[in-house]
Structure 1
Amino acid sequence: MNQISPMAFVDPEAKLGDNNIIGPFCYIDKNTVIGDNNKFYNSVTVHAGARIGNNNEFFPGASISTKPQDLKYRGEDTLCEIGDNNSVRENVTISRGTASKGTTIVGSNNLLMENMHVAHDCVLGNGLIIGNSTKFAGEVTVDDNAIISAVVLSHQFCRIGGYVMIQGGSRFSQDIPPYIIAGKEPTRYCGINIVGLRRRGFSNETIDIIHDTYRTIYANGIIKDGIQEARAKYPGVKEVEYICSFIENSKRGIIR
């Protein structure tokens, strides 16, 4: 049974699962689907197109599936999909998709801290920690287990690799490859995220291989040649292949 405050509004067309708590002054629009065991503290807005999983918590002022801040948006029916076990803190805004991709996606087990923004058609993975006031422009992709500090600004279409640590206040318009620390001004490669990788259970041997892979790629004058050399050194190592394929598929180029 859902607990809905008499001071909240839930559209009759909204589809709710079971055991949700909807606090005062929340607004749940039509064309929304909400799973089980979610908690909406006071003053949360869930706009049309939201698809929310289970066991999430939304803090006051959060606005989910907002109209995209994109002048090309013409009112088409699009979605904002949010997985399970997320903590969406105060004043977080997550836009729904546009005709470009149709859906903004936030995975599961993420912490989205106060006042951060996820723009239209972004794809956020799982296990992310994203700091206060960080902003993702349209169609940014963030792979699993990244940690992004406060007040980070990401240009549209950028991709952020898994297991990275991005320094607070960074701003960038190129892709950030996996397993690294990125920071300084302008944002650049600052070494391997050793502490983060150890916390995630990576062995010292694997960390050494990742470190040597970046040394090989960055030291080579031509990145394509560095990738070829790294693959030859460590055939079949999934972490090396992830790094190499990430760089090969980068459309904006990688930070150096």
Structure 2
Amino acid sequence: MAPQILNGVDPTALIAPGAAIADGAMIGAGCRIGPFCTVGPEVVLEEGVELVSHVVVEGATRIGAGTKVLPFASIGTPPQDLKYKGEPTRCEVGPKCLIREGVTIHRASVGGGGVTKVGAGCMLMAQAHVAHDCLLGDGVILANNVMLGGHVLVGDGAFIGGGAAVHQTVRIGRLAMVSGLAGVTNDIPPFGYVFGLPARLVGFNKIGLLRRGASRDQLRTLRLANNLLFKDPGEFAAKVEQVATRWPDEPLVQEVIAFVRDMTRRRQLVRPGRMAAPELGGVDEENGEGA
């Protein structure tokens, strides 16, 4: 017989003295809630979640199994949106994430899809901010002090360097890399590497692609396609069609083309720029730092 759950708290959960768990909160098996944490009445903590200490989780927020949240982080607090009047919206954090000290993740506003979401296996370093209605894919890394405005979309495996600021409604493609202190005001295509203030496209995330199984031939093709799209002269729409038809069977190239053609976009593409070093990029996935 399954163990009886009293007031939504699994009997195997460990809750420190001084933690405040509201009636209605659902606390899964093996959760650990440290001193001076506050958990609201609509919160769901799945199996094995750990709130180390001084963590605030409120609103209709769900945190996935095995996620660890360090001190002074707050998750599911109201959006910083003057139009928000307390309407019911949600916040979700996927399994096996690491949320470091002082991170803030706000629940959604009513002007978006109703949910702010962080995917599985993400690492949000100290003081990073995820605003209302942001959607982060799996394996995303935000370094210290990254600031995401509202409605930002971040693809799987993207890396955003320390102190970078991302304007609201920007899309950042899969495995893209943003340098530290960059100011991102336009969309970044998949695998793109951007640098500077304002951020400019200076290469692609070659190291990240190699670590995920891309071949050297695929990288050479992607380089040719990127040069044609973003460096060669000519009318951009015509270059998009040329690239799409030249490499119809190359999935990495077609992923970039699909991103560029997405008519739901609300911002222009990031502009190409120059950088002294050749294509940097990649992420040291053991410590979350740029390679």
Deviates more, 1:52-61 or 1:227-236: 227-236
Deviation at 1:126, TM superposition (A): 0.5
Partner residue, 1:27? 38
Partner residue, 1:247? 260
Give the aligned residue type for 1:63.
Answer: S
Partner residue, 1:139? 151
What are the Cα deviations for residues 215-250 of structure 1, in whole angstroms up to 9, with x where unaligned? 111224222111111111111322111101111223
Deviation at 1:104, TM superposition (A): 0.3
Q: Which runs of 5+ in 1 are unaligned?
A: none
What are the Cα deviations for residues 5-62 of structure 1, in whole angstroms up to 9, with x where unaligned? 1210001210111000000000001111111001100100001111111000000001
* Cα contact 1:146–1:164 (8 A) shared by 2: yes
* Cα contact 1:131–1:151 (8 A) shared by 2: yes
Measured in 2, the distance between the counterparts of 1:150 and 1:18 equals 35
Q: What is the aligned length?
A: 256
Measured in 2, the distance between the counterparts of 1:220 and 1:37 equals 54
Partner residue, 1:75? 86
* 1:11 matches 2:22: yes
Partner residue, 1:125? 137
Measured in 1, the distance between the counterparts of 2:233 and 2:254 equals 17
Deviation at 1:251, TM superposition (A): 2.6
Let me know the Cα RMSD of the aligned residues: 1.0
Deviation at 1:185, TM superposition (A): 3.1
Alignment equivalent of 2:51, drawn from 27, 34, 40: 40
* Cα contact 2:185–2:199 (8 A) shared by 1: no
Partner residue, 2:190? 178
* 1:88 matches 2:103: no
* Cα contact 1:146–1:161 (8 A) shared by 2: yes
Scaled by the length of structure 2, the TM-score of the pair is: 0.86
Alignment equivalent of 1:169, drawn from 181, 186, 198: 181
Give the aligned residue type for 1:178.
Answer: P
Deviation at 1:139, TM superposition (A): 0.2
Name the SS for the 2:229 alignment partner.
helix
Alignment equivalent of 1:214, drawn from 200, 221, 226: 226
Measured in 2, the distance between the counterparts of 1:184 and 1:52 equals 34
* Cα contact 2:185–2:198 (8 A) shared by 1: no
Segments of 4+ in structure 1 off by > 4 A? none
* Cα contact 1:247–1:253 (8 A) shared by 2: no
Give the aligned residue type for 2:25.
Answer: A
Deviation at 1:202, TM superposition (A): 1.1
